[in-house]
Amino acid sequence: MKLKLDFDEMADDFFDNTRLMGIVAPVKNYQFCWQLNQLLRLDFRINNDIEIQLFKKQRNYYFSIFEYREPNSSLVHYLYNNQFDGEYLLPEFRHLDFLWLLKGDLVADDFLQNLLTAIKSINSVQLVTELTNEKIRNKGHLIF
C-alpha cells in the first residue's frame, strides 16, 4: 500500500487562520529583529530547528526563521528571510526581504493594522503589506 502526501491539504491546514505580511527592509535579519524587539517590545529569536532548506540549481539554500511567542496566548510570530545567496523563498515576491507569519490564534484586523503601522515606523522599513493566501504561488515553501 502506498501513502501519498496531499501537499495542498497540508498547506491549507498550515495556513488556516494565519495572516502574512511582506516587508521590504534592506538590512540583515538580525539587525531587523533587533529593531523589532527594541521598538515593539517583542522577543524575536532565531529558531534553527525550523529553518527552511530548499534544493535548487544543484545546491541547498537555507532560509532562517525567527520566532516570537506571545505571552498568555497561542499566537506565534514567524519572521522568514525571503532570500539567501540570490535565491528566494517566495520567488513571486522577489522585492520582499522578509515575510512575517502570524499563526496559532485568530488575528483581528485592528491588531494587524496596528502592527503594520508600528513596523512602518522603523527607519529601515520601506514597505509593509499584507499578503493574501491567493497571491502566494509557492505556499509550500513556508511550511516547516
Q: What is the pLDDT of residues 25-52, one digit of tens each?
A: 999 999 999 999 999 999 999 999 999 9
**Higher local confidence (pLDDT), 17 or 29:** 29
pTM: 0.88
Could you tell me the domains of the chain? 17-142 (3.30.310)
What is the pLDDT at residue 132? 83
What is the rounded CA–CA span in Å between residue 81 and residue 63? 6
Q: What is the pLDDT of residues 82-137, one digit of tens each?
A: 999 989 999 999 999 999 999 999 999 999 999 999 999 999 999 999 998 777 88
Beta strands in the chain (DSSP E): 19-24, 45-46, 52-56, 59-63, 65-69, 76-81, 83-84, 87-88, 98-103, 127-131
Mean pLDDT, residues 7-11 taken together: 68
Q: Check pLDDT > 90 for residue 6.
A: no
- Output the CA–CA distances (angstroms, integers) from residue 88 to 27, 52, 72, in the order listed: 16, 11, 34
Mean pLDDT, residues 45-73 taken together: 92
Q: Which three cell numbers stand for residue 34?
A: 533587533
- Spatial contact of 125 and 25, defined as CB atoms under 8 Å apart: yes
